[in-house]
């Protein structure tokens, strides 16, 4: 089958009115990735060699989004919604190119397993003209039933048309199917619209192919894989299923999740073995973590790279561009953005580091802030190897603190500091005996006067 070409036709033209959203339904995300992009990834894993996206509602928005998750896809617009067969035929130009296999999928089934798609393709390789993907829901009510005889699929019967015996069938239509490329257009063109809705149904090709004496079979996917998303409650359900799968995968690969149900991954999270993740941690897109790191509770990490044996959190926020080298530490209530924390450097608590480099072995005290933005432009702060920045210091960029530099606590540093120098950036303390009592008396008098006026 590896030598067979395959076009994946993904139907993504639905308006998704039950989502109650101005955004096209299939662009709503699971694990930080549009649900239709999950379908694209499954198609790629199943060996597709061509991709056609059939779009409609929000076509411009869909085309723009597709440039990110499917840049090589051909897009076709279904101007009128006249049924699933009509939607597939919107991609006639792509289908006519002579692919061996045509996979038809839906953009709102983000959990579809590549193995289920590959199994359907395998049936085509074995000689079937059509392979319909079915599933067994806990309750089949409302689903079309797959009617089989002698190992062949003879019909897809909508529930309203089922006999009492057929209603007992638990094997249901998932909507997805594989069609042999040499038969696809002919079968699709034979689909009529003589039904109550006047629409062209893809499911009709089962009986059309059977009437031609072609082999039509059904394959089976898990219920979860076939789950379609129609509203935000189902979206949340699918998110939960995806997260459960990913957590298990992470743990089986050597990652410790102390409270798995509280950890949330993104579609592209990479995390090495022997990493320990404490409860209530959220990984946004673009996170790469090497082995042996420890991510403490309530940390929020996005677009960050964390090397081996780093220590992060609790209550840390790593934003895009944060790059932690080996054994670096970013502690509680710290935020790092677009900054490199070199090997063994410590950013321990209550600190913001943005647009900066913190040299190897440097230590930043509590309350250190890189003042990197003047309201118009960003500026860089370079902190040298082994430097020490005292607590409650503000580093006003652009700025360089040399290797081994020492910044006194409470300083506002506006000029670069040479290697091994000590810098103070604060006013000399002045003590006025009795002035505290005088201020209290004055403030108390003013407050009393204000109260009398109010009365």
> For 348, what's the count of Cα atoms within 13 Å in the CB-facing half-sphere?
12
Name which of 227, 237, 281 is nearest 256 in CA terms: 281
Residue holding tokens 């840049």?
Answer: 71
* pLDDT for 438 beyond 60: yes
Q: Give the pLDDT confidence score for residue 430 in this predicted structure.
A: 84
Q: Give the pLDDT confidence score for residue 6 in this predicted structure.
A: 97
* pLDDT for 1 beyond 70: no
Question: In the chain, what percentage of residues exceed pLDDT 90?
Answer: 85
Q: Has domain 245-423 been given CATH number 2.160.10.10?
A: yes
pLDDT in tens, 128-181: 999 999 999 999 998 999 999 988 999 998 888 888 899 999 999 999 999 999
Highest mean pLDDT among 190-194, 314-318, 446-450: 314-318
For residue 152, the cross-strand partners are 149
Residue holding tokens 């694990």?
Answer: 31
Q: What is the mean pLDDT of residues 214-238?
A: 95
How far separated are the first and last CA of the chain, in Å rounded?
Answer: 90
Q: How far apart are CA 53 and CA 76, in angstroms?
A: 6
Tokens coding 72: 């090589």
Q: How far apart are CA 309 and CA 403, in angstroms?
A: 24
What is the DSSP pairing of strand 152-157 with strand 145-149?
antiparallel
What is the DSSP pairing of strand 256-257 with strand 29-30?
unpaired
Cβ count near 271 (within 10 Å): 23
Mean pLDDT of the chain, nearest integer = 94
What band does 431 get if pLDDT is binned at 50, 70 and 90?
confident
Query: Among residues 38, 86, 296, 349, which one is catalytic?
Result: 349
Q: Give the pLDDT confidence score for residue 2 in this predicted structure.
A: 59
Q: Is 300 a catalytic residue?
A: no
Q: What string of H, E and C letters represents the secondary structure of the chain?
A: CCCCCEEEEEEECCCCHHHCCCCCHHHCEECCEEHHHHHHHHHHHCCCCEEEEEEECEHHHHHHHHHHHCCCCEEEECCCCCCHHHHHHCCHHHHCCCCCEEEEEECCCCCCCHHHHHHHHHHHHCCCCEEEEEECCCCCCCCCEEEEECCEEEEEECHHHCCCCHHHCCCEEEEEEEEEHHHHHHHHHCCCCCCCCCCCCHHHHHHHHHHCCCCEEEEECCCCCCCCCCCHHHHHHHHHHHHHHHHHHHHHCCCEECCHHHCECCCCCEECCCCEECCCCEECCCCEECCCCEECCCCEECCCEECCCCEECCCCEECCCCEECCCCEECCCCEEEEEEECCCCEECCCCEEEEEEECCCCEECCCCEEECECCCCECCEEECCCCEECCCCEEECCEEECCCCEECCCCEECCCECCCCEECCCCCCCCCCCHHHHHHHHHHHHHHHHHHHHC
- pTM (whole model) above 0.75: yes
Q: Which fold has domain 6-220?
A: Spore Coat Polysaccharide Biosynthesis Protein SpsA; Chain A (3.90.550)
At residue 374, φ and ψ (nearest 5 deg) are -105, 15
* Whether the Cβ atoms of residue 404 and residue 422 lie closer than 8 Å to each other: no
Please tell me whether the peptide bond between 106 and the residue prior to it is cis, using omega within 30 degrees of 0: no
For residue 8, the cross-strand partners are 51, 103
Name which of 23, 1, 3, 4 is nearest 12 in CA terms: 23
Pick from 37-41, 235-239, 240-244, 448-452: least confident: 448-452
Q: How far apart are CA 200 and CA 165, in angstroms?
A: 27
Residue holding tokens 């009393």?
Answer: 448
Q: Give the pLDDT confidence score for residue 16 in this predicted structure.
A: 76
Tokens coding 362: 């440097």
Q: Give the pLDDT confidence score for residue 284 in this predicted structure.
A: 98
Where in the chain are the domains? 6-220, 245-423
pLDDT in tens, 28-59: 999 999 999 999 999 999 999 999 999 988 88
Q: How far apart are CA 335 and CA 349, in angstroms?
A: 9
What band does 90 get if pLDDT is binned at 50, 70 and 90?
very high
Q: What is the mean pLDDT of residues 385-413?
A: 96
Tokens coding 124: 């085509």
């Amino acid at each position: 089958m590896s030598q067979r070409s395959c076009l994946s036709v993904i139907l993504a033209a639905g308006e998704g009115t039950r989502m109650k959203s101005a955004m096209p339904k299939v662009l709503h995300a699971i694990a930080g990735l549009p649900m239709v992009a999950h379908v694209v990834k499954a198609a790629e894993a199943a060996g597709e060699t061509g991709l056609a996206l059939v779009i409609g509602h929000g076509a411009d928005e869909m085309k723009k989004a597709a440039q990110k998750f499917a840049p090589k896809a051909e897009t076709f617009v279904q101007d009128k919604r006249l049924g699933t067969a009509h939607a597939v035929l919107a991609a006639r130009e792509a289908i006519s190119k002579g692919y061996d296999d045509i996979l038809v999928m839906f953009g709102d089934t983000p959990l579809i397993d590549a193995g289920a798609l590959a199994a359907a393709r395998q049936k085509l390789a074995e000689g079937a003209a059509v392979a319909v993907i079915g599933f067994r829901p806990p309750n089949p009510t409302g689903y079309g039933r797959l009617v089989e005889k002698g190992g062949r699929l003879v019909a897809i019967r909508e529930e309203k048309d089922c006999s009492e015996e057929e209603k007992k069938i638990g094997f249901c239509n998932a909507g997805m199917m594989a069609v042999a490329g040499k038969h696809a257009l002919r079968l699709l063109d034979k689909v009529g619209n003589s039904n109550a809705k006047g629409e062209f149904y893809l499911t009709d090709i089962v009986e059309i192919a059977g009437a031609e004496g072609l082999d039509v079979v059904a394959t089976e996917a898990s219920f979860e894989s076939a789950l379609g998303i129609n509203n935000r409650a189902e979206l949340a359900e699918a998110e939960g299923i995806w997260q459960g799968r990913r957590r298990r995968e992470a743990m089986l690969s050597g990652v410790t999740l102390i409270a798995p149900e509280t950890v949330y991954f993104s579609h592209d999270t990479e995390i090495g073995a022997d990493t320990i993740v404490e409860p209530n941690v959220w990984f946004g897109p673009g996170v790469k973590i090497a082995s042996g790191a420890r991510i403490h509770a309530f940390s929020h990490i996005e677009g960050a790279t964390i090397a081996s044996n780093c220590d992060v959190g609790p209550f840390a926020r790593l934003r895009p561009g944060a790059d932690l080298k080996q054994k670096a530490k970013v502690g509680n209530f710290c935020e790092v953005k677009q900054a490199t924390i070199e090997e063994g450097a410590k950013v321990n608590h209550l600190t913001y580091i943005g647009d900066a480099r913190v040299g190897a072995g440097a230590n930043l005290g509590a309350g250190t802030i890189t003042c990197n933005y003047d309201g118009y432009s960003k500026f860089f702060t370079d902190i040298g190897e082994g430097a020490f920045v005292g607590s409650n210091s503000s580093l006003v960029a652009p700025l360089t603190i040399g290797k081994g530099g020492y910044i006194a606590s409470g300083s506002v540093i506006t000029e670069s500091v040479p290697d091994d120098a000590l810098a103070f950036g604060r006013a000399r303390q002045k003590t006025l005996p009795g002035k505290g009592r005088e201020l209290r008396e004055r403030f108390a008098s003013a407050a009393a006067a204000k109260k009398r006026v109010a009365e």
